[in-house]
Every structure is written in structure tokens, then in C-alpha cells.
Structure 1
Amino acid sequence: MLKFILKRLLAMIPTLAVISFLIFVIIQLPPGDYLTNQIDELRASGEAASIAKIEFLRTEFSLDKPFFERYLIWVGAWPGPHGFDGLLQGNWGWSFEYDKPVADVVGPSLPLTVILNFATVLFVYIVSFPIGIYSATRQYSWGDYGFTLIGYLGLAVPNFLLGLILLYLANHWFGISVGGLMDPQYTDAPWSFAKVLSVLQHLIVPTIVIGTAGTAGMIRRLRANLLDELNRQYVVTARAKGLSETRLLAKYPLRMALNPFIADIGHLIPSLVSGSVIVSVVLNLPTVGPVLLDALRSLDQFLAAFILMFVALLTVVGMLVSDLLLGLLDPRIRLGGKVRQ
């Protein structure tokens, strides 16, 4: 198992390297950049002094260098104007839109984004796991039809509309403030038990809203996988030998059906981040989604590139977690399909 873990950890390094290069290529595809747009606007208004300052910023942040050199400087593998000072050294770049380091722009949003995504993944799996098993073991029952209907509604109803409805109900019934991930008085306050409690209260609505579509999909996937396993010959044989239904379900078909269910952890995280951008705007959530949207609009390259790299890191970590869980669940995976005599 240790060898399996080391192989997965080492595989993360080239994966992140390739992802960083692709992100940098995609960010560079639109013509011009933030400073180019600013120069065009200043030239139209005749502000020569400001143009000189922006030209200085272009040189300061190596935007006048060739493409590959800019990439190596960004990741910290090539000395820039101030030596080695890139992602590998903890320098996330400069946000031209906000006129301050990227770390200062996204710093408060990163932990809240991780907390929200972690809570949403837990919600998706905690809800979908028992419902998927129930629907598969009681196929075509009233409960199965009911959960199927709820799942289709979860897929059909727009997230922002569901968010607005739940915001109203949470405020009207429970007195939770509308929007945000905490009460307004805790926004700039240091972390305390009261602030943590406020965050937990405000996590309920966005977790349900963002996780609804993923939960519905997971239920259908687990139900289909488990139904396929329940119809196999080894289940019939185990049942004929007198094995109880509960023990039979837990020992054989459920373990086999869980493989694709667990493998979806890594794929779920990027879909949650990308699918929560509109929800974050509607619910006024201080996550990186709205910041990424603004950065892409304004061509704020360093800010957009770092957020995309952060999402990629979450995805790779999610894939690592799913690989480790699959290795524990199914020995064939960690042994590479080898059969020991």
C-alpha cells in the first residue's frame, strides 16, 4: 500500500506541471492583456504619464518577455526581475485589477472556498449513499419513484432559483441573515467559536443549493451500478447458500458498486467550483468563483491563472483521495491487476 501511495504522490508532480502550462497557454490566448487595454484607454484620453507607469509595470512583471520565459518566471523556475520569485516560492503574482498582490485578493476567499467545497462533497455523499442503496434494493417501490422524482427536480430547478427560495425560508423561519457565509459583524473579526458557529449556520443553504445536482446524479449512478451487481450470478449463489440479505449486500455487490461512486470524488470538485459561480454571486458568497469571473472579464492574467491553478490543485488532491480509497476498497487496483499465486 505504501508503494501505491508513493506512486500516486509522485504522479501529482508532472500532472500539476502539465496543468500549469495549459492554464498559462489558455490565459494567454485572448489578444492583449489588462495593461494593454489600460494603455489603449489612456492613449485615447492623452494621459502620457500614466502610460509610462503602465509600461514600467509591464517590464516589472516580465510581460515584455517571450512566452516560455514568462511561463517559467510565473512558476518560479526562471529568475525574473527580482530573482526566483514565482508560484514555487509562494509568490502568486500581482492583480492589476485590484492593484495589489494576488495573495491579498484571494487570501480570505481560499479557506472559505475549501470549507464550502468540503461541506458540499460531504453533503453529496452522505445523502446520495443511503438513498442510492434504498432505491436499488427496493426497485420500482413508491420510495424509489419518490426519490427519482426528487432527483429529477434537483437536476431541473436552476441553482440560483433554489438558492433564492432557501435564502428566504432560512431568513423567515430561522432568522439567518441573507447571503454570505457568516453574519456581517464577523466579516473582519478574528476567528472565534461564535464566528465558526455563524459559518456553519450559513453553510446550510449554499451546501444544499450547490450539492443538489451532484446528489441527484450520484443517486442515479449508485442505483444503476448496484442493480447491475445484484443481478450477477455470484449474488444468486450467495443467496442460495443462505447468506442474509444485509450481509450479502455489504460483503459483495455494494463493494463492487462503490468503485465508480468513489472515483467521482476528483471529478466532483471542479464541477462544484465551476457550477457555484452564479450561485456565489446570487448568494453573495465570498469564494473565489466571482473573483475568477471578474478576472477573466478584465484579462487580469495572474489572478485568473492562480485561481485556475488552485482549482486544479483541489482536483488533483480529490483524485488522490479517490485513488487511495479505491486502493483500500479494491486490492486489484493497488496491486495493478496482478494475481498472486
Structure 2
Amino acid sequence: MIMISYVVRRLLYMVPTVFLISIVTFLIISLPPGDYLTTLIAQMRAQGGEVDQARIAALELRYGLDSPLWVQYGKWIGGILTGDFGESFQLNRPVTTVLAQRLPLTVMIALCTLIFTWIIALPVGLYSAIRQYKFGDYLATTIGFLGLAVPNFLIALVLMYVGYRFFGASVGGLFSPDFADANWNLGRILDLFGHLWVPVVVLGMAGTAGLIRILRANLLDELRKPYVIAARARGIPERKLIMKYPLRVALNPFISTIGWVLPALVSGEVIVAQVLSLPTTGPVLLSSLLSQDMYLAGSIILIVSVLTVIGTLLSDFALAWLDPRIRLRIGG
């Protein structure tokens, strides 16, 4: 009953939070000087073309850019509530169409990166804590520091060079040229998985290194606490002792990653996506911000923000289920 009231209360908090996020998002994309038409006019003049004032006026009327800010916000948020995210000025297509083309591959890359991160970080962090100051611990620590220190885009460039220089293959993109525009079939799926490991490894390096360090530090802290020492004195086997309590508490950071994984499903790593030519939403977001494509940029930012709220909510629920100390604080 306590958990049910906690869940309901947190869900109710989401409503005003999302509303405020939508206002802040719209202000972020609207307050910079000018708009898409200003950028378009500047580009036309830079190219020596004439500015058609009738076309500009028609575009202002079509997109409501001549209306007050609060009217534009009402039109934008009203459309989103009905499933209409507006039109992309730059691409001249519905925002929902643009997202539908980019979002599935973005989600797949992010989920694979999350699985890769957890599969590597959990056993390495556990081993590093149990074998403190051994060779394996020093090796894991060194690799962890390198993973945190080296930028992801630099790792991507190195992998691209190695792949081309020594294997004669390009690791950019998610498909080979023969399958880039092909229909979905077994060959295209296999080709996708043949290219998928590169962005997964690149994007997962920093997250894996960070989680290894966090898990090691948390587990070492738990292993020094009196309840662990008392359990050892009672003769509980070391493996059973570590798995039953200290590891469960040390796993909290892994559960907390849900809060940033969901927004990463949409935003992705923009610089890495640019370097590797990934067809994800990250480059689209960057391009829309540069061109002041307000409906496309605003929709992506809003989705990322809402997913952050949802991810934090799911993370809190999972932590309350995993850690009895949190449940006691909720009950208190």
C-alpha cells in the first residue's frame, strides 16, 4: 500500500513537471534572435539570390511565425497533444516522419550499448573490488581511466583508421553501400549487425569505465561495513555473502542509469554520430538547432526531456524495489 501511494504521488508530480518542461523547451528554441526565415534569408543573400517577400510572408502565415510567442506555443503544444509535432522547415516534411525514420535505429543502438555496458562493467567491477590491488584490479583501473579520459569521437576515428588501413573496410554508417537503400531482408540484417558493434563499443566505452569505477568503490565500501565482518565471523561462504547483500547495495548505480538511458535513446551521441555517419536523431537535432528549425528541434528536445523524467521515475521505482533501505524511508 505504501508503494502504491508512492507510485501515484510520483505520477502526479510528472504532470506539472512535463508542463513546465514544455514551456522551457519552447522558450529555449524561440528566444534566440531571429527564426528559420531569418536564417533562410541570410542564406539566400549569401548565395546572391533575391529574397521573395511574398514567399517569406506566405511561410510566416503558414507556420504562424508572425504571431505572438504565446500563440505559437499554444499552437505547438496543442498539436503535440493530438499527435501532430508540426512541420520541419528545413526538410519540408512532418516532424513525425523525420522521427519515424531516425528513431528505430537510435533506440536499437542505445539498447545494445546499454547491454554491452552492463555485461562488461558488472563482472569487471566485481572482480576489481574482490581482488583489490591485484594485477587484474590495476589493469581494470588503467583501462577505466583510459575509457574516461579518451573522447568517444577519438576512439571512433581510431577504429575507422584501423578498419580501413588494415582490413580494407569502412566502419562508418550502419550499412554497406550495397545494403544502404535495400529492402529489409536477412542479408541487410546481417550487414547491420556487422556494422553495429563499432558504435556500440565507441558509445559504451565511457559509460562502461565509469560504472566499473563506481561499482568497485561502492562494493569496497560495503565490504568494510560491520555486517559483512560479522557475517564472515559466522562462517558464511564468501561468494554467498557478497552476492546476498553487498552486491545488491552496490548495484544501485546500475539501476540509476535508467534515468539517462531513455533520453539517450533519442538524442544519442551527436559528435560520434557525425563522425561515424550514423542515421540517428543526434545529427538531425544538431542541424535543426543550427538552422533554427524550431518545430523539429523543439520536438526532439521535448521528447528527450520527457524521457529523462520517465527514466528517473522508473529508476526510483526499481531502486525502491531493490534496496530495502529506500522502502523504509518511503514508509517513514
TM-score (norm. length: structure 2)? 0.89
> What residue in structure 2 maps to residue 79 of structure 1?
none
> What residue in structure 1 maps to residue 65 of structure 2?
63
After alignment, is 194-203 or 28-37 more displaced? 194-203
1:8-43 deviation per Cα after TM superposition (whole angstroms, max 9, x unaligned): 444433332222211111111210101123345667
Write the mapping of 1:9-28 to structure 2, written as runs, cut at 5 A.
Answer: 9-28=11-30
Instruction: Give yes or no for contact 2:266–2:303 (8 Å, CA) kept in 1.
Output: no
Structure-2 separation of matches of 1:199 and 1:315: 28
Q: Secondary structure of 1:92's match?
A: coil
Residue 201 (1) aligns with residue 203 (2): no
Give the structure, 1 or 2, with the largest relative contact order (CA under 8 Å, sep 6 or more): 2
Instruction: Give yes or no for contact 1:235–1:248 (8 Å, CA) kept in 2.
Output: yes
Q: How many residues align?
A: 329
Instruction: Give yes or no for contact 2:148–2:206 (8 Å, CA) kept in 1.
Output: yes
Residue 211 (1) aligns with residue 204 (2): yes
Structure 2, unpaired ranges of 5+: none
The Cα of 1:328 is off from its aligned counterpart by 2.0
1:56-77 deviation per Cα after TM superposition (whole angstroms, max 9, x unaligned): 221222222222221121111x
Structure-2 separation of matches of 1:71 and 1:62: 10
Instruction: Give yes or no for contact 1:270–1:311 (8 Å, CA) kept in 2.
Output: yes
After alignment, is 292-301 or 318-327 more displaced? 318-327
1:156-182 deviation per Cα after TM superposition (whole angstroms, max 9, x unaligned): 222222112223445677776431112
Write the mapping of 1:1-341 to structure 2, written as runs, cut at 5 A.
Answer: 1-39=3-41, 47=50, 50-76=52-78, 86-170=79-163, 177-268=170-261, 270=263, 276-334=269-327, 336-338=329-331
The Cα of 1:251 is off from its aligned counterpart by 1.1
TM-score (norm. length: structure 1)? 0.87
1:98 to 1:161, Cα distance in 2 relative to 1, 3 A: same
The letter for the 1-side match of 2:237 is S
> What residue in structure 2 maps to residue 80 of structure 1?
none
1:277 to 1:46, Cα distance in 2 relative to 1, 3 A: closer
The Cα of 1:281 is off from its aligned counterpart by 0.9
Instruction: Give yes or no for contact 2:110–2:261 (8 Å, CA) kept in 1.
Output: no
Instruction: Give yes or no for contact 1:159–1:210 (8 Å, CA) kept in 2.
Output: yes
After alignment, is 253-262 or 163-172 more displaced? 163-172
Structure-2 separation of matches of 1:46 and 1:211: 46
> What residue in structure 2 maps to residue 83 of structure 1?
none
1:189 to 1:336, Cα distance in 2 relative to 1, 3 A: farther
1:123-172 deviation per Cα after TM superposition (whole angstroms, max 9, x unaligned): 11121111111111111111000011111111222222211222344567
Structure 1, unpaired ranges of 5+: 77-85
The letter for the 1-side match of 2:94 is P
Structure-1 separation of matches of 2:194 and 2:6: 39
Structure-2 separation of matches of 1:93 and 1:60: 11
The Cα of 1:114 is off from its aligned counterpart by 1.0
Instruction: Give yes or no for contact 1:222–1:258 (8 Å, CA) kept in 2.
Output: yes
After alignment, is 181-190 or 131-140 more displaced? 181-190
1:293 to 1:332, Cα distance in 2 relative to 1, 3 A: same
Q: Secondary structure of 2:230's match?
A: helix
Identity of aligned residues (%): 52
Structure-2 separation of matches of 1:126 and 1:145: 20
The letter for the 1-side match of 2:192 is V
Structure-2 separation of matches of 1:3 and 1:198: 48
Structure-1 separation of matches of 2:116 and 2:14: 27
The letter for the 2-side match of 1:23 is T
The letter for the 1-side match of 2:130 is T
Structure-2 separation of matches of 1:168 and 1:87: 43
Quote the RMSD (CA, aligned, Å): 2.6
1:328 to 1:194, Cα distance in 2 relative to 1, 3 A: farther
Structure-1 separation of matches of 2:329 and 2:319: 12
